[in-house]
Each structure stands twice: as structure tokens, then as C-alpha cells.
Chain A
Amino acid sequence: MNEHGLRLFDPRKSSVWRLTLAFAAITAVTLLLAIILIYQLLLGEQSRQVERRLDAEKTRIEALASEFDKGSFFQQLDVFRNEGEILIFWQSEYEQSQQLSFLPDNIPALPQTIVFPVLDTGRGQIRLLTTGKVKTHHGDIVLATATEHLQRLIVDFKSIASWTFIIAIVLTGLFGYLFSRRHLRRVNYFNETAEQVQNGDLSARLSHKNKGDEFDRLAAHINTMLDAVEENFALVQGITDNIAHDLKTPLTRLKLNIEKRLEDQPQMGYELEQLNNIINTFDAMLKLTRLEHGQFPLKLETIDSSQLTHDVCEILQPSAEQNDQIICVNITSPWQLNGDRNLIFQAIFNLVENAIKYAGKGATITLALDEKSLSVTDNGKGVNEQDLKQLTKRFYRSDPARQHEGFGLGLATVKAICNRHKLNLSLSSDNGFCVKITND
């Protein structure tokens, strides 16, 4: 992932955010259970008491109805009416006992009840009545009890419970989001440092507090690990530098001596050329290894890619002409590229040189450039599918006889240069061979 991607990483994709969601769900369920439990223990019990009272009254009235005749039954009811908290209404041909101006038609038979509001003119307030009917053979009797306190409690409880629920969930989500952002920032810091190391800066370290949390401990561990890696690396580096030094001093002697003898013995030129080949292969391998391991610091600058393209073409034109080949340069628009001028030049050079070597006599080599890609295409015999994957490996050459001059490091070096510049390299072979470098 590139640096840009890391910075824009969405906090909602972090593991902490997923944990937050899970936690929010658990909180929601727990809260819901708690609310239901409290409701049942406090308010449910009171509701049931009201029901029980109405039920007891119902039983009494039914008993009265079966014991007395109609007249005595209503007289008894008149007595009861003034005794308890239960209000009793009825309608009959003898008398209409009704303290209320209005009774709804849809009052159900007990134990079912409905709640409706009435205006108590005596007290000048609205009261809520829980009512139900008792059916007797003397007629329907309506029982009611005032429950406005209970109803108000239920309404208040419901509203408080829903607000508590909403606020708890929102707070959980909000804190989870903030935590995951903070968490991500720290993880990103780790990622950036890792990337720095990956790019060859082994001196990169994570800053942390000594007493700190799990992140600080992780940072401390990573730092210790990097110290060890850097130390080993320096050791290996020292060894390769020493090898290079120890090897190059005698090579210098040899080269200087052969060159000296060249004046008298021109045939020594062949030996000198062989020696130069050895040295060049050695240097190319060292360079490739350093590129691949990020030990090759880039000298970054804005590159005039069309100038580079023209230069490569100009240098290699005579070589192409020797093979009756034509190099076409096709620049749609220049590619604004930030990179190491010498390395990018080498990459383009290697690609065109390869095309000259392998496309065959009379081929046309096209160097195309637009604002975010560069491609080198030839119309030669191309490369088969298997070779295509192997081509960027070092020392791989598709001609088994190795007739062409070179070390088989050309494309491997191009690949390493592209990787180092975070550019994308793709090979294809439809008609001829095409290599494309793009800025992804």
C-alpha cells in the first residue's frame, strides 16, 4: 500500500471500529434487558395489582348477581359504590347510575381492559380510567379505577428509557470512532516507519514513552529488532564493501598492468576486454543487488522524460540502423516524473537496447510516451507466455545458446529501478514484444 493510501485509511475499516460495533450491539441488548426487567419489577407489578383489584370486584359482583334478584342487586351495588376505590357504573331500565357524562362503547369484558381519559368536573382535572365490563344476567356492569399516576409513570419511564438507550448507543459509537481513529493513527505511524525501513532507511525508529501501553511496548520491541537488523546489515555491508575493496585493489593492479603492456603488445587488448567484461558483470550484479535491497539511494529530481527518450533514441539509433531497424518516437505529452535521472535513463536504455538485440532485422521499435506511461514496443517475433514471466529474473535469457552479448541483467535491472520508483512494469506479447512502465 502506498503512503497516500495509508494516510487516507478509513477509521471505519479498523478492527477497533468492528469491536466498537460488536460492543454497541452487546450494550444495546444489555440495556434493553435491564429496561424490560425494571419495567416488569416496578410498573408491571402495579399494573397487575390494578388488574387483580378489578378481578376481585368482578368476582364479587358476579356472586351478588347470582344471589339477589335484580332490584336488590342494584341496591347492593349502590352500597358498594361508595365503599372502595373501584368505581361502578351500570345502565338499566330502573336507574341509570352514571357519574360520567360519557362511556365509550367499546369497553371489553374483564379481564380485558381499556384506558380512557375523562374530565373530573369535581376536581377539575383529567383522569385516566382503566375500565372493563362484567356481564351479569341483570345487565352489564362497568368497573373502573383511576390509574393516571401509573399511566404517567409508564409514559415517563418509556421516554426516559428510550433516551437513555439512544444516548448510550450514540456515545458508544462516538467513542469507538474516536478510539479507532487514535488507534489507526498509531498503527499508521508504525506502517509509515515500516515503509521507511522497506525503502532502505534502516535508521528509522519508532518514538515511544518508556512507561507506556501495549503500543509503546510493541514499538520498543520493533526498535530492538531494527537495531539488530541494522547491526547485522552493517556487518554484511562491511563484509561486501571489504570484498569489493579487496577484490578491486588487485583488479586495479591487473588492469593497470595489462594496459601498460598494451603499448608493446596490442594483442593484450583481448585480455583487457575480457577483464572489463568481468568487472562490468560484477558491477552490474552489485548495482542490481543494491537496488533490490533498497541500498541504492535515489537522487530525486523532476525529470524531462521526453528529453530522456530522445537521448536514448539518439544514442541507440546507429545500433538500430546496423540491424536495419527503425526507432519511432511517439510523444503524446511529456510524463512529469520525479526520479533519479541516471536510473530512469538506464531503464529506458535497457528496454530499447533489448528490443534492438531481440526484435530481429528490419523490425520497427516504437517508443511511446504519454502523461503517465512509457512503452517500448517492437514488431519482432515476440516472446512466449512462459518466458514472459521469467524475463525479469536475473540471468534469465530466452535464447538458450546465449548468442547475444549481455549478462541477462537488463530487464531485472529495469524491474528493480521501477520498484524503487514505485512504478509499475508490465510485459506483454501480442504482436511482437511490449514493455510498459506506468505510474499507478
Chain B
Amino acid sequence: MKLLLVEDDQQNREFLYKAFVEQGYTLDCAEDGQQGLMLATCEHYDAIVLDRMLPKLDGLQVLLALRATGKTTPVLILSALDKVDDRVTGLKAGGDDYLTKPFSFSELAIRVENLIKRHTFHAPLTTKINLANLTLDYSDQRVDVNGKTLNLQPKEFKLLRYLLDHQNKLVTRTLLFESVWEYHFDPGTNVIDVHIARLRKKLAEASAQLEIETVRGVGYRLKANVS
């Protein structure tokens, strides 16, 4: 997987470079809009992470110019501006996702992964996801643990599915809230924690060999807990 990172702040650029490389991506970096646009049009990338405010050529202009050449590479916009209209103009200009600074790397990583997945979408061979002794089948909305069906509320099902889709990865609360409840809003830590606690309890009662780990300050990680 090859990414293009266009970010003018050197420290952040280097940090993100290292972090993405650790995740197994190949990366090209650009420090201003012109350079970014040149790379984006000449090379092939699986996704582009584009800062909104850039020297020489503004992020939005880069995006508009890129789309004008017919390139459909998915683009995630990073911005210090959290205004809704900014988000809307960013997405209208051809951006595929939008993340406000300061962000957590886990969230950026998952959003980029989702973008690439969505862009190169293939119908999955199976509608089932397995982890340890749990099977989730999203075609008939069913979760089985050791062959026994688990009784989950619709939102709990969506929550578990999202965690399973991103198993072993850190998932932030904002991401969870956005994908499960579909509102663009930060409900605060406590509210999601309570829902996770409920899900945990149900999984434990069914003796699922899974663990939803809370990572303070970031979010949750679902992993198998085979002892």
C-alpha cells in the first residue's frame, strides 16, 4: 500500500511517516501544495493524506486540481479548522474524509484503511467474521458464541461488528460514535464507556474468549483472549 502525505509541519510529517511505515505502508512525503500536487498527479497512490492549510498551494486547490485531472485516489483532509462549512467544502471539493486536528494516530490509521477498503471494494466471499470462539454473521444479524446465539440490541451488534472489522486495532470513540450512531458529534468519554461495559458484560456472560481493552485517552481495542 502506498500513501502520499502532504503536511507542512516537519515534526508532524516525520512522526506520521514513521508511524505509517510501522503499519506497513510505503510513503511519499510532500511539504507544500505544489510538490504534493505534482506527486499526486504523476505517481500512483492508494490514498492521500492532505493538510488543509499548506504553503504555496492551498490544500483545497490541490484537491480541486487533482480531481480536474480525473484522478480518483481517495483523499483524507487534515484540518485545524473544525467548522462545518469547512468540512462540507472539503468534501465537496472531492475529499473522501475529513479529520480535525489534533487527531489521534489510531483514528487517522483506521480512516485511511477504511478509505482504501472502500475504494478497492470487492464483495467479500463470506458475510461472517470470526474471532476466537465468536462468529458474527452480518447477513442475518447474528452473533454466536460456541454455537450459541447471543442476544444483542441492534446498536450493540453494530458496535461489535465495527470492533471486529478492526480487530487488534485501536478504535477511537469518535469513530465508534460516527459509525454506530451516525451523528457527527463527540458525546464525551463516559457515554461510550457505558455501552462498551454492557457489551463486555454480555460477551463475558456468554463466555466469549474476547477482550475489549480500554486504552486510556484513545479508545478501545478488541482482541482474542484465549487462555
Contact = CB atoms under 8 A, between A and B. Distances in A.
A407 B217 CA distance: 18
Interface of A is mostly: helix
Given A256-B12, A296-B84, A270 B217 contact: yes
B155 interface: yes
Interface stretch (A8-16, A68-76, A154-162, A247-255): A247-255
Contact of B155 (A245, A269, A271, A314): A314
Contact of B19 (A260, A280, A314): A260
B138 interface: no
A120 interface: no
A329 B83 CA distance: 32
Contact of B101 (A252, A268, A290): A252
B43 to A, nearest CB: 25
A253 B102 CA distance: 8
Interface string B12-39: 1001100100000000000000000000
A256 B12 CA distance: 8
A160 B183 CA distance: 78
Contacts, number: 117
Interface stretch (B65-73, B103-111, B117-125): B103-111
A258 B217 contact: yes
Contacts of A296: 83-84
Contacts of B16: 256
Interface stretch (B144-152, B161-169, B186-194, B203-211): B186-194
B100 to A, nearest CB: 8
A418 B101 CA distance: 28
B195 A318 contact: yes
Nearest to A275: B217
A346 B43 CA distance: 42
Interface of B: 9, 11-12, 15-16, 19, 53, 80-85, 88, 101-106, 155, 181, 183-191, 194-195, 197-198, 215-218
12 contacts: A248-B102, A249-B101, A251-B101, A257-B15, A259-B105, A259-B106, A259-B218, A260-B105, A269-B216, A270-B217, A276-B217, A405-B190
Interface of A: 241, 244-245, 248-249, 251-260, 262, 266, 268-273, 275-276, 279-280, 283, 286-287, 290, 295-297, 299, 311, 314-316, 318-319, 322, 341-342, 345-346, 349, 353, 405
Q: Which 3 residue pairs across A and B have the least CB separation, nearest first?
A: A269-B216, A272-B217, A252-B102
